[in-house]
A and B are shown apart, each in its own frame.
Chain A
Amino acid sequence: AQSVAQPEDQVNVAEGNPLTVKCTYSVSGNPYLFWYVQYPNRGLQFLLKYITGDNLVKGSYGFEAEFNKSQTSFHLKKPSALVSDSALYFCAVRDPLYTGTASKLTFGTGTRLQVTL
């Protein structure tokens, strides 16, 4: 079965500094990977996805993610963090064995990003 791991419960970074939120995955076949963000008292919002092609994927709000097949990682990055980026971030992988039209996702446990002045 597929899985994702987010090894850090919380990441702290100063505003203006680069940030990285880590994600590693385990899946049979080609991975389809996603990042979602959850702001306080809100549902999840889609940030970006990797399907195939360029290993550097650009998404919303200036975020990008780097796919590394040899390390089975899909780390989320941003060159310059903002206080407003403080939120809960989830990595997810699509079940490659599910052939239906529904996108059955497996989520990680989440990483809380805290950006301070």
Chain B
Amino acid sequence: DVKVTQSSRYLVKRTGEKVFLECVQDMDHENMFWYRQDPGLGLRLIYFSYDVKMKEKGDIPEGYSVSREKKERFSLILESASTNQTSMYLCASTSSIWEQYFGPGTRLTVT
């Protein structure tokens, strides 16, 4: 079975802190994604990566950056966390143009 893991299930940070969210997949997938999930807004794509060191902006990249130094790991970085970044963050990976495999999510609260 494909396994996508995220470093934390719950995270509480203060405004202005630098925040790292880590995602690891064990299926040698080329493509990895970061979404945020908010009630009434569904999932929105922040960034994705189609290869090591390659990245593309999604629909809402402002305030975020990403890093992919190894194929299995995709990190989401909040350079200076703000309260409007309080959300559920979901990582996904895929090797094809079809099904994406999701991690369990990280619920981030910025106070």
Chain A residues close to B by CB (< 8 Å): 6, 9, 32, 34, 36, 41-46, 49, 51, 90, 92, 94, 100-110
Contacts and interface: CB of A to CB of B under 8 A. Distances in A.
24 contacts: A9-B40, A34-B98, A34-B99, A36-B102, A43-B105, A44-B100, A45-B102, A49-B99, A51-B98, A90-B42, A100-B50, A101-B30, A101-B96, A102-B33, A102-B48, A102-B50, A103-B94, A103-B99, A103-B100, A104-B48, A105-B100, A106-B59, A107-B42, A107-B43
B100 A109 contact: no
B97 A103 contact: yes
Contacts, number: 70
B77 to A, nearest CB: 20
Binding site secondary structure of chain B: strand
